[in-house]
Structure 1
Amino acid sequence: MSKTLHPLAGALALLIILAFWGTTLVSEVFGPPTTVVLVKSLIPWGFLLLIPALMATGGSGFVLAGQRGGRLVDAKRRRMPVVAMNGLLILMPAALFLAFKAQAGELDAVFYAVQALELVAGAVNITLLGLNMRDGLRLTGRLRHVPA
């Protein structure tokens, strides 16, 4: 079951985070303030799907890895605490703060400073989760390792 759950949950989590990041960027750059307010207001609701997906990914990954070691497994293990702490300490509080500010119509300098931090932290998580996906595909043999 973990062999099926892990890649599906991981892909879902990465897609949700990409959707958050992409819709934020597009609404900020191209959209009117009403679109920014809508996007920032909806993102916390996405946590209802994202958090279970991340929990399923982490739990199934832990089960799959077991006592297994090796360069790829160890790299995935080192990345996940960074992803989790980034999400819990920066991304989720920022998303809730931005939703509150947006709903209050306060698209001010503080809003945009936190928005910039959120975009950078989100890009870090997207990168780390993408690297984990790549390494997972290599572990299963679905992606060949190309030497540098």
Structure 2
Amino acid sequence: MKHKQLIKIHIATTVIAALTIANFFTFSLIAEIIGDADFIKQVKTVILYCLPVLIIAMPLLALSGKRLAGKSINPLVLQKQKRMKFVAINGLLLISLAIYLYYHANFKTIDTTFFTVQGIELLLGAVNLSLIGLNIRAGLRLSYKKFK
């Protein structure tokens, strides 16, 4: 695969992943603030149905990033790779939590357990958004150095 194509894939998957996570986070937070059970169920259902987008985007993001990084020892590249390990672990937890929250909202009651798990999901989602944001900033710095 050509380098320019790889960069385009990396940028596209980064945007898709970041926007998907940001939307999941935002709508979950809005649902919590509003507190309407039907809206919470709708949000959790939409998140569940949209999970495949993230499940496809994140590995493509990681793979394209690894290919672009190659054997680089650039500190920015090494930091990005280290952060992606945490993003991946958090991502697996977030997928599990999203499935659990969907099930709990739709087939059980929205209770203290639900809100506790929702709080954990929001915390992990904020961490992932922050880490991805730091990686985007590092990627922009790397591309600026490359084209300077």
Alignment TM-score, normalising by the size of structure 1:
0.92
Which segments of 5 or more consecutive residues in structure 2 lack a partner in the other structure? none
Pairing 1:1-148 to 2, within 5 Å after superposition: 1-88=5-92, 90-141=93-144
For 1:116-139, what per-residue CA distance to the aligned partner results, in whole angstroms no more than 9, with x for missing partners?
000000000000000000100110
How far is 1:105 from its partner? 4.4
CA-atom RMSD, angstroms? Answer: 1.1
The whole-number CA distance in structure 1 between the counterparts of 2:7 and 2:119 is: 36
How much identity, in percent, do the aligned residues show? Answer: 37
For 1:17-37, what per-residue CA distance to the aligned partner results, in whole angstroms no more than 9, with x for missing partners?
000000000111025211001
Provide the aligned length of Structure 1 versus Structure 2.
141
The whole-number CA distance in structure 1 between the counterparts of 2:108 and 2:42 is: 11
The whole-number CA distance in structure 1 between the counterparts of 2:63 and 2:85 is: 13
Q: Which amino acid aligns with 1:116?
A: G
Q: Which amino acid aligns with 1:100?
A: Y
Moved over 2 A (4+): none
Deviates more, 1:43-52 or 1:111-120: 43-52
Match of 1:146 in 2: none
For 1:95-133, what per-residue CA distance to the aligned partner results, in whole angstroms no more than 9, with x for missing partners?
101000111141011100000000000000000000000
Which is richer in helix? 2
How far is 1:3 from its partner? 1.1
The whole-number CA distance in structure 1 between the counterparts of 2:47 and 2:9 is: 24
How far is 1:52 from its partner? 1.0
Alignment TM-score, normalising by the size of structure 2:
0.92
How far is 1:55 from its partner? 1.4
Which segments of 5 or more consecutive residues in structure 1 lack a partner in the other structure? 143-148
Q: Which amino acid aligns with 1:26?
A: I
